[in-house]
């Protein structure tokens, strides 16, 4: 997480909502020879307390899950390079804007009998987002083929114990400078730049609250 508190202006609910909507991240644990990481789709429960996912049994992380281990799930969002020229102000430096949420907690392997339910939960979550397409169901697979594939994977659960988010969107700049960067970044270098530009155009939560108080004085 970026150390500047100005970029930590979202609530836990907003950070969890972002992670839930993304549904894909990097799971990291400490291994014997250094950090281990796996890129995983996941489902976060409505309360923000439990992440369900699965890993290939040959994944080195599985070799650590004979017990519960501390883990970090990193969920990244749009990101992009910000040129100092876009601010319209002197003495600026290059930077990179981005959104990222970290979920920390205890990682454990679930019993084999939970695998069907975990896989169904994952596929249902993502298939529902494709409506009006008829959802894919596991019943469409040949039972033998499904069983062979399931023998290669294992259900895993992350019990969420900590939530943190960085929304680095030029909140530390005057509004005209922030607006100039938001206007230009859409044609710049990065990922999901249109989404990043839209986020940068939104008032920061503290600024929005000030505007609301000014419009509705008590």
pLDDT in tens, 25-37: 999 999 989 999 9
pLDDT in tens, 146-171: 899 999 999 999 999 999 999 999 99
Top pLDDT among 139 and 193 is at 193
Assess whether pLDDT exceeds 70 at residue 205: no
Q: Is 210 helix (H, G, I), strand (E, B) or coil?
A: helix
pLDDT in tens, 165-201: 999 999 999 999 999 999 999 999 999 999 999 999 9
Arithmetic mean of pLDDT, 31-60: 97
Domains of the chain by start residue, with CATH: 5-215 (2.30.110.10)
Q: Given pLDDT bands bounded at 50, 70 and 90, which one contains residue 143? A: confident
pLDDT in tens, 79-138: 999 999 999 999 999 999 999 999 999 999 999 999 999 999 999 999 999 999 999 999
Query: What is the rounded distance in angstroms from the CA atom of residue 10 to the CA atom of residue 167?
Result: 8
Assess whether pLDDT exceeds 60 at residue 207: no
pLDDT, position 76: 98
pTM score of the predicted model: 0.90
Helix (H) or strand (E) holding 22: helix 12-22
């Amino acid at each position: 997480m970026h150390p500047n508190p100005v970029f930590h202006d979202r609530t836990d609910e907003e950070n969890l909502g972002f992670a839930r909507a993304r549904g894909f991240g990097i799971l990291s644990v400490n291994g014997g020879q250094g950090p281990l990481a796996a890129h995983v789709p996941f489902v976060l429960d409505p309360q923000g307390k439990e992440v369900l996912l699965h890993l290939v049994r040959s994944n080195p992380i599985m070799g650590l899950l004979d017990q519960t281990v501390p883990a970090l799930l990193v969920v990244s969002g749009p990101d992009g390079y910000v040129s100092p020229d876009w601010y319209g102000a002197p003495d600026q430096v290059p930077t990179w804007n981005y959104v990222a949420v970290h979920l920390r907690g205890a990682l454990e392997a679930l019993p084999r009998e939970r695998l069907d339910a975990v896989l169904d939960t994952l596929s249902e979550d993502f298939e529902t987002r494709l409506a009006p397409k008829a959802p894919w169901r596991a019943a469409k697979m040949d039972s033998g083929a499904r069983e062979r594939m399931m023998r290669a994977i294992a259900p895993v659960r992350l019990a969420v114990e900590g939530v943190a988010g960085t929304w680095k969107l030029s909140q530390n700049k005057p509004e005209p400078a922030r607006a100039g960067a938001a206007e230009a970044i859409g044609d710049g270098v990065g990922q999901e730049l249109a989404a990043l530009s839209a986020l940068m155009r939104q008032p920061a939560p503290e600024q929005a609250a000030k505007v609301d108080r000014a419009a509705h004085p008590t």
